[in-house]
Homo-oligomer: A and B are copies of this chain.
């Protein structure tokens, strides 16, 4: 049906082996022959059949990306970063999402066999992610924001460091009673942010009242948490939400209750989603460069693919985050 290497070979009066070598840029082809092969290939609009090529060469020029989801701001940015690096290396992306279902994840990973040279995996099932998560133990893979990689190299957002820095910022701006709205307990970042908040508070001598409200990273949970905070006996002078969406929900609750931010209560989030800069007052938050997270993960994977040997311990990198100070955490006026 379509043009194969045989057609090119026939037209160019050479063997298929020579066509293959010429097209793949091998040295051992006469310049004149090479030229002829390229001309014929161009004229015939020949494109090598990928499956055939990867079956015989054992390389696919493709990396698999297995994510909990494909949509939303976060994954969109992540894909952007991965895509940019993939393109610059002439790689294709085979994308798969498993929608929170461990079985689906396993089947997605299995389906990658023979289709990809390596794998980028984001799995909230942190414990299972280590060994068993990846179908083929021989398949190079990098774990993305899923906690420690165990046997696999891992790249994580520095949620712990970011949470400490944010808590420090709130303390530095004169706040002492800082409540925290936590993310889902089974989420690695959520846990790290809570831990960072607690550890930084612990560095302040004297009694600092802390209050942790459980949330789930959704706006609604932030809204409920905001109301809960206001209903409490002692009102905090700052609220630190584990992500921006919850901070926004909280801000909404404060607005409804006539509580002013930052005059009555300061507010901070985490992630720096686009909305954070559009709301009023602008939300102080920690910027996470999601695209960079994806790009860097792929580069880590490419290192593995190139360097062959897993020499020593797998990398366990941390992506730095950046404090973005906006109106919502303005310095506290000393009490009149």
Question: In A87-107, which residues have CB < 8 Å from any B CB?
Answer: 87, 92-97, 99
Given contacts A76-B73, A76-B75, contact A47 B92 (CB under 8 A): no
- Whether the pair B71, A76 counts as a contact (CB closer than 8 A) is yes
Segment with Cβ contacts to B, from A6-14, A51-59, A193-201, A232-240: A51-59
Question: Is A114 located at the chain interface by the 8 A CB criterion?
Answer: yes
- Residue numbers in B under 8 Å from A94 (CB-CB): 62, 92-95
Q: Which of B75, B93, B278 contacts A279 (CB 8 A)?
A: B278
Question: Is A110 located at the chain interface by the 8 A CB criterion?
Answer: yes
Segment with Cβ contacts to B, from A19-27, A77-85, A183-191: A77-85
Give the CA-CA distance A136 to B46 in the complex, in Å.
10
Q: Give the Cβ gap from A80 to chain B, nearest Cβ, in Å.
A: 4
Q: Which of B50, B71, B110 contacts A80 (CB 8 A)?
A: B71
Give the CA-CA distance A71 to B136 in the complex, in Å.
30
- Whether the pair A72, B76 counts as a contact (CB closer than 8 A) is yes
Q: Give the Cβ gap from A218 to chain B, nearest Cβ, in Å.
A: 14
Q: Give the Cβ gap from A116 to chain B, nearest Cβ, in Å.
A: 9
Given contacts A70-B79, A75-B76, A97-B83, contact A113 B55 (CB under 8 A): no
Question: Is A28 located at the chain interface by the 8 A CB criterion?
Answer: no
Give the CA-CA distance A71 to B75 in the complex, in Å.
9
Q: Which of B51, B72, B73, B80 contacts A70 (CB 8 A)?
A: B80
Give the CA-CA distance A151 to B177 in the complex, in Å.
67
Q: Give the Cβ gap from A138 to chain B, nearest Cβ, in Å.
A: 7
Give the CA-CA distance A79 to B79 in the complex, in Å.
11
